[in-house]
Amino acid sequence: MKQQVWILFFLAVPLCSSVQVHNATVNGDVTLSPVGISTVRSVVWKFGIDKVAEFDPSFSEDVKIFGNYRGRTTLDKETGSITISKLTLEDSGTFSVEVDSVLMPDLYRLEVHEAVNNVDIRKADSSNSLCELLCEAKTSSGEASLNYVWIKNGQFLSHESHLTVSKSDLSHSYTCNASNPVSWKITTVKAKEICKAPNRWLIPVVVVLASIGVIGIGAVGWRLYQNRDSKPDDDPAVNGTGAGSNRDTGAPNGESGGLVDKSTV
């Protein structure tokens, strides 16, 4: 009977456990506290299977901090809470705690996020009747998975990163709010200004086509110049066959091809 009671107890523990989610910012800090515990005698915090911090007065009055948590983690001996600072993305994960040698059923899920630092709205596409706006947000390391909210005149429009605007609504201003659990940024634009601006990809395309045109014209000009230099010289004066020539190529051998002085004949 006693054995059955213990079995039922261990089966019930997972059903009573819960996961507490804590969101924090890169380079920020977070405090994790044992649930339902006011005072502790000994406490051990773990990240997965690795120890983070430990205090057991049976062995030492000093708090032990392990691994890369050294220098940025403190443990409260009375409450069993730990505070971790200088957080990085690698700190995201699940923590557990043992109080007085008993593993607590609750788990602590830490999610570390980068703060949103830039939001931009540009034209993605347009037609005769519609214009599509695209909201792009970035963090310090680049693109991020964020939540988007489009608003016009205080009215919610969409949760998507893009928004389709009809030509009749181009006179309105549109606001995009990009956020994650720890930060948010907003930007507002006039749709008329964005939708009538040329697509950004057109600029490099025009530059490339212009460069190709210049190169082509230069190649043709160079080819014509080369052909001109290699063309035989047909100037009669140079070839000696014109009226100004001093010799007659049709004269017999040994005779002068020059003009005859009629006064001596």
Decide which of 41 and 259 is more confident: 41
Q: What is the pLDDT of residue 37?
A: 82
Lowest-pLDDT range of 75-79, 103-107, 247-251 = 247-251
User: Count of CB atoms within 10 A of residue 115's CB?
Assistant: 16
Q: What is the pLDDT of residue 258?
A: 43
Of 150, 174, 196, which residue sits at a domain end?
Answer: 196
pTM for the full model?
0.63
* Number of folded domains that form the chain: 2
In a domain, 237, yes or no: no
pLDDT bucket at 252, cuts 50 / 70 / 90: very low
Q: What is the pLDDT of residue 43?
A: 96
Q: Report the half-sphere exposure of 244 (CA within 13 A, side-chain side).
A: 5
Residues 87-109, mean pLDDT to the nearest whole number: 95
Question: Same domain for 95 and 166?
Answer: no
In a domain, 10, yes or no: no
C-alpha closest to that of 123 among 21, 202, 7 = 202
CA distance 110 to 30: 9
Decide which of 104 and 255 is more confident: 104
Residues 12-25, mean pLDDT to the nearest whole number: 75
User: Count of CB atoms within 10 A of residue 207's CB?
Assistant: 10
CA distance 207 to 102: 70
Question: Same domain for 145 and 91?
Answer: no
Question: Same domain for 107 and 192?
Answer: no
Question: Same domain for 139 and 81?
Answer: no
Q: Is the pLDDT of residue 2 over 60?
A: no
Question: Same domain for 97 and 124?
Answer: no
In a domain, 184, yes or no: yes
Residue 130 domain boundaries? 118-196
Question: Same domain for 152 and 181?
Answer: yes
Q: What is the CATH number of the domain that holds 75?
A: 2.60.40.10
Q: What is the pLDDT of residue 126?
A: 74
In a domain, 252, yes or no: no
Question: Same domain for 28 and 70?
Answer: yes
CA distance 181 to 164: 26
Of 196, 230, 245, which residue sits at a domain end?
Answer: 196
Question: Same domain for 105 and 132?
Answer: no
On whether the CB atoms of residues 94 and 22 are closer than 8 A, the answer is no
Look-up of token digits 């205090």: 55
C-alpha closest to that of 48 among 90, 10, 87 = 90
Question: Same domain for 154 and 73?
Answer: no
Question: Same domain for 98 and 62?
Answer: yes
Question: Same domain for 95 and 137?
Answer: no
Of 196, 222, 256, which residue sits at a domain end?
Answer: 196
Task: State pLDDT tens for residues 112-143.
Answer: 999 998 899 999 877 778 899 999 888 887 76
Q: How far apart are the first and last CA of the chain?
A: 160
pLDDT bucket at 30, cuts 50 / 70 / 90: very high
In a domain, 43, yes or no: yes
Residues 5-30, mean pLDDT to the nearest whole number: 69
Q: Is the pLDDT of residue 246 over 90?
A: no
pLDDT bucket at 153, cuts 50 / 70 / 90: confident
CA distance 30 to 181: 14
At 16, is the secondary structure helix, strand, or coil? helix
Lowest-pLDDT range of 39-43, 45-49, 144-148 = 144-148
CA distance 80 to 34: 7
Q: What is the pLDDT of residue 168?
A: 86
pLDDT bucket at 14, cuts 50 / 70 / 90: very low
In a domain, 42, yes or no: yes
Task: State pLDDT tens for residues 214-238.
Answer: 676 766 666 776 676 555 555 444 4
C-alpha closest to that of 41 among 81, 77, 73, 95 = 77
In a domain, 91, yes or no: yes
In a domain, 109, yes or no: yes
